[in-house]
Amino acid sequence: MTTGEPAAPHGKTLRVPCLHNPPDDQLEAQLQTEGFVWIDLEDPSDDDLEKLSKKISLHPLTLGDARTFQQRPKIEEYEGYMFMVVFGVDEDTASGGPLLREVHLIISGDYVVTIHRGPFASLADLRRRYDDQPIRSEQFLVYKVLDAVISTFVPVLGRTDDDIDNVEQEVIDDPTPEQLRRIFALKRDLVAMRRVVSPMRDMFARNADRIADLPGLETDDRLYFRDLYDTLIRVSELVDSYRDLLSGATDMYLSTVANRQGEINKQLTIIATIFLPLTFLTGFFGQNFGSLVRWMNAEWVFYVFGLGLLAASVAGFGVFFRRKGWL
């Protein structure tokens, strides 16, 4: 990723205050200045958004969208500003949990406003890094905000890659239902990411450059937004690849379990087959036939026809199973 330079284009020095949940008087004073400002609102109330709307003259539709979460990624143009919905992920959320983080942005030539629920570590780090520090341009800060949100997919996908490798090895060694639950949890994560990454990729492919056309926004290199598009392409390809790997891991688990069940069934079948002639012989010679009773007066009859036939049947089936490769 591009890290930026200390000086703005044309030799000017640009410093942008990064305000986190600012009080009304500080927000009012900052908006009255001619400088660019980043306003980061975490868990704002409806009253907070209403006051902000009056200060920066938001359209009622924008105010409604800013209050409503669980939207799809989108860019909407209004007079003098843009409203965006983008998504990142929470790196600290375990697999199968609420991974996605939705961020609303309002971008104009005088400010960029970010609205999100709960703390977002990537945005907090970015505020600390750029608060009142020299930056290239206003557009560069907008790019860094978007990049901070979108780049959160990369470490989570790296963790997913490691988890897939581990679960595949465990399935080969000793498949258990816990591994199948982990596979399904990872699949849910990838499905959730794919649901937002693909629309964001298409959104940046078509509309990202329009941010640079906002009136009053100090522009910079348009390649910044192309870099965001490249990141989303890479994330989208990784998500699809890992989904295929998890499908393969699921098939591997089911095949391994089926093979083990087949091995157990084969062993039980061998045991049952060996005991089949034994049961027949003991049942046959156990019948109350007069001639058989007279034969049994000779001791050799017991060893030959009794124990001998039983041993011969076991040995015969043993040779048969070994030739078939079942033993």
Tens digits of residue pLDDT in 287-304: 554 555 555 566 666 666
Residue where a domain terminates, one of 218, 239, 257:
257
Those residues whose C-beta lies under 8 Å from the C-beta of residue 87, and which sit 6 or more positions away, are: 73, 100, 101, 102, 103, 149, 196, 197, 200
Residues 249 and 298 in one domain: no
Model pLDDT, residue 218: 61
- Domain check: are 288 and 186 in the same one? no
pLDDT of residue 15: 84
Whether 298 maps to a domain, the answer reads yes
Domain that holds residue 99: 9-257
Q: What angle do helix axes 309-324 and 223-285 make, rounded to 10 degrees?
A: 160
- Domain membership of residue 113 (yes or no) is yes
* 31 part of a folded domain: yes
**Same structural domain, 201 and 286:** no
Q: Is residue 156 part of a domain?
A: yes
User: Given the structure tokens 């000086």, which residue do they identify?
Assistant: 7
**Which stretches of 35-136 are assigned E, i.e. beta strand?**
37-42, 74-78, 81-89, 100-108, 111-116, 134-135
CATH of the domain at 52: 3.30.460.20
**Do residue 307 and residue 241 come from a single domain?**
no
The count of structural domains within the chain is 2
Output the pTM of the full model.
Answer: 0.74
| pLDDT at residue 17 in the model | 86
For residues 208 and 243, membership in a common domain is answered with yes
Q: Are residues 223 and 142 in the same domain?
A: yes
- Same domain assignment for residues 227 and 270: no
Confidence (pLDDT) at 183:
84
Q: Is residue 2 part of a domain?
A: no
pLDDT the model gives residue 5: 44
User: What does residue 214 show for φ and ψ, rounded to 5 degrees?
Assistant: -65, 135
Residues 189 and 288 in one domain: no
Q: What is the pLDDT of residues 107-158, one digit of tens each?
A: 988 889 999 998 999 999 999 988 878 877 888 888 899 999 999 999 999 8
Among 242, 257, 272, where does a domain finish?
257
As a whole number of angstroms, the distance between CA 324 and CA 327 comes to 8
The beta-strand segments (E) located in the chain are: 14-15, 18-20, 37-42, 74-78, 81-89, 100-108, 111-116, 134-135
* pLDDT given at position 324: 67
Contact call for residues 72 and 199 (beta carbons, < 8 A): yes
| Contact between 157 and 238 (Cβ < 8 Å) | yes
Q: What is the pLDDT of residue 303?
A: 67
Asked whether residue 4 is domain-assigned, the answer is no
Residue 65, in any domain of the structure = yes
The angle that helices 223-285 and 153-173 make with each other, rounded to 10 degrees, is 20
User: Backbone phi, then psi, for 92, in 5-degree steps?
Assistant: -90, -5
Q: Contact 10/156 with Cβ under 8 angstroms? A: no
Residues 215 and 316 in one domain: no
Q: Are residues 267 and 252 in the same domain?
A: no
Q: Which of 227, 257, 287 is the last residue of a domain?
A: 257
Establish if 1 belongs to a structural domain. no
Cα within 13 Å of Cα(164), Cβ side? 23
Share of the chain above pLDDT 70, in %: 80
pLDDT tens, residue order, the chain (327 aa): 344 444 444 445 678 888 899 988 888 888 888 788 899 999 999 999 998 998 888 999 999 999 999 899 999 989 889 999 999 998 878 777 788 999 999 998 888 999 999 899 999 999 998 887 887 788 888 889 999 999 999 999 988 888 888 888 887 777 788 888 888 888 888 999 999 999 999 888 887 777 777 766 666 666 777 888 888 999 999 998 888 888 887 777 777 776 677 667 767 777 777 777 767 666 666 655 455 555 556 666 666 666 777 777 778 777 776 776 666
Tokens standing for residue 27: 């927000």
Give the integer Cα–Cα distance in Å for 69 and 65: 8
Specify whether 234 is located in the same domain as 320.
no
Is residue 67 domain-shared with residue 205, that is, in the same domain? yes
pLDDT at position 99 is: 86
